[in-house]
Amino acid sequence: MDDYTRRAEQAKGAKRPVSARSLRGLDWFVFFVADVQTGFGPFIAVYLTSQKWTQVDIGLVLTVGGLISLFGQIPGGALLDAVKSPRLAAAIAIILVGISALILAWWPNYPAVLASRVLQAGASCVLGPAIAALSLGLVARSRVSRRLGRNAAFASIGTGLAAAAMGACGYYISNQSVFFVTAALALPAFFAVLTIRSVEIDSGHAHGGMPQKFPSFRQTLAYAFGNRAIFVFAACVFLFHLSNAAVLPLIASTMTQRASQSAALMIAIAMVVPQLLVAIFSPLVGRSSETWGRRPLLLLGFAALFVRIALIASVSSLFAVVGVQVFDCVSAAVLGVLVPLCVADLTRGTGHFNLMQGIIGCAMGLGASISTVLAGYLSDRFSTFVALVALDGVAAIALLTLWTLMPETRVFGHGQPATS
């Protein structure tokens, strides 16, 4: 047993110790889930552009997926609070995501692509929160920030390696092959989650601290309405994703129009470098959040988004665009760790964790869905530059909102987070 596992066991203090097998199983599950989800990123824009789809049609399809994510987040959280095993929910969800990749690869027509996006988005509404629930269920509250930092590191490594492999497949084989690779990667993810021992998952911790009586949807909404910080945080992440979600699809479409053959490879490079850096910085974010607090790191991540979009809008070289993507590592590391961590702070000991993840996920999904269709319209109607300037304006508003309204959520000595 390594030192990481031993410390987790000692901190947990549960009747059944957490084995290295379960913790490593969670590591590999996070890694392979990131692999699978990478295929549903900007590679869709590259693939559909090569199939002669217009930017508006691509934006609409991406928006449908965003809307499913929007309306599915709260039911997904409710489902996780209702079922005893987040492990089972995660296993089913990853298989559904793999099936959706096969549909996308085999039938690139509008009805099939639409069905694929619905299936993938619906399964992801459960998959993402399930990873956070498994993390809370396996480690002690005092180690959640480090566990989430470790999750983000493994997710970033998975995303980076998958982007490199999929970019190579798109360049040397075809853009279609990306989605066959995506479907194949769902299998090791499925087997990885099965290695997590269900008896070692603390159901109380996984649901936010109430092991036997789970809150109703009405109770959760009442709690949310009584907590100003939750709504401020939801507004901040909404604005962040409204600004961020369309950036890579815009870059992907521009690259495809300029150099169709190498577009997938260039997009892969634009994703690989930031993700590898995220893998390095995410554990540091997790540790620093315990000493610096959450708010300063959130400000850093939001500022990096503003700078990144401004630089992308001001350069014309495709290689320069890829270089600017390094700024994405800051935002990705910060948001990847701190979104679930802040939700855990704000729902400490309430039993509302998974449903509250759904509310925050709703805000993220709404921002992302509007972002892609808005940017697609502005790009087709005016230019990519205009679309990027508009997105950067939203990023500035997001940063200002966070700076002026968002309180610190770190748990203080008396055991409660700040709420105003």
In total, how many domains does the chain have? 1
What the block records as the tokens of 133 is 């629930």
Domain range for 284: 17-204+215-405
Res 393: pLDDT:
92
What the block records as the tokens of 18 is 């957490």
Owner of token pair 């900007």: 42
Owner of token pair 């959280």: 77
Q: Could you tell me if residue 153 is inside a domain?
A: yes
CB distance 189 to 36 below 8 Å: yes
> Amino acid letter at 290?
E
> Amino acid letter at 293?
G
Cα 194 to Cα 315: distance, rounded to the nearest angstrom: 46
Print burial letters for 192-214: b (CB count within 10 Å at least 16), e (below 16): bbebbeeebbbbebbbbbbeeeb
> How many angstroms from the chain centroid is the CA of residue 412?
27
Q: What is the DSSP letter of 406?
A: P
Neighbouring C-beta atoms of residue 114, cutoff 10 Å: 15
Answering whether pTM is above 0.85, one says no
Neighbouring C-beta atoms of residue 404, cutoff 10 Å: 8
Res 4: pLDDT:
42
What the block records as the tokens of 10 is 């000692």
Q: C-alpha angle with apex 304: 249 to 298, nearest 5 degrees? A: 110
Q: Could you tell me if residue 189 is inside a domain?
A: yes
CATH number, domain containing residue 131 = 1.20.1250.20
Q: Could you tell me if residue 209 is inside a domain?
A: no
Backbone φ and ψ for 343, nearest 5 degrees, come out as: -65, -40
Q: Could you tell me if residue 313 is inside a domain?
A: yes
What the block records as the tokens of 175 is 């853009």
CB distance 179 to 47 below 8 Å: yes
Non-local CB neighbours of 212 within 8 Å, separated by 6+ positions: 204
Backbone φ and ψ for 409, nearest 5 degrees, come out as: -110, -5
Neighbouring C-beta atoms of residue 345, cutoff 10 Å: 23
Non-local CB neighbours of 407 within 8 Å, separated by 6+ positions: 229, 232, 295, 418, 419, 420
411: helix, coil or strand? coil
Q: Could you tell me if residue 5 is inside a domain?
A: no
Neighbouring C-beta atoms of residue 299, cutoff 10 Å: 15
Res 153: pLDDT:
81
Owner of token pair 């957490």: 18
Q: Could you tell me if residue 340 is inside a domain?
A: yes
List own/partner pairs for 108-116 with CB under 8 A and 24 or more apart.
Answer: 108/47, 108/48, 108/51, 108/176, 110/57, 110/61, 113/48, 113/61, 114/61, 114/64
Cα 408 to Cα 399: distance, rounded to the nearest angstrom: 15
Cα separation values, 28 from 156, 167, 381, Å:
12, 22, 44
CB distance 119 to 103 below 8 Å: yes
Q: Could you tell me if residue 415 is inside a domain?
A: no
**How large a percentage of the chain has pLDDT more than 70?**
74
Res 291: pLDDT:
79
What the block records as the tokens of 334 is 């910060």
Cα 60 to Cα 369: distance, rounded to the nearest angstrom: 9
Sign of CA dihedral 80, 82, 86, 88: negative
Res 360: pLDDT:
85
Cα 148 to Cα 344: distance, rounded to the nearest angstrom: 11
Res 322: pLDDT:
67
Q: Could you tell me if residue 172 is inside a domain?
A: yes
Cα 126 to Cα 240: distance, rounded to the nearest angstrom: 22
Per-residue pLDDT of the chain (420 residues), as tens digits, is 344 444 444 444 444 567 778 888 888 898 888 877 776 766 777 777 776 676 677 777 777 776 777 777 777 776 776 676 778 888 888 889 888 888 887 887 777 787 888 888 888 888 878 888 888 778 776 677 788 888 878 887 887 777 777 777 777 777 777 788 888 888 988 998 888 887 777 766 666 655 445 555 566 566 666 677 888 898 999 999 999 888 877 776 666 665 555 555 666 666 666 667 777 777 888 788 777 888 889 999 999 999 888 888 777 666 666 667 777 778 888 888 888 888 878 877 666 677 777 788 888 878 887 887 888 888 878 887 888 889 999 999 999 999 998 888 776 443 444 444
Which element (helix H / strand E) includes 81?
Answer: helix 55-82
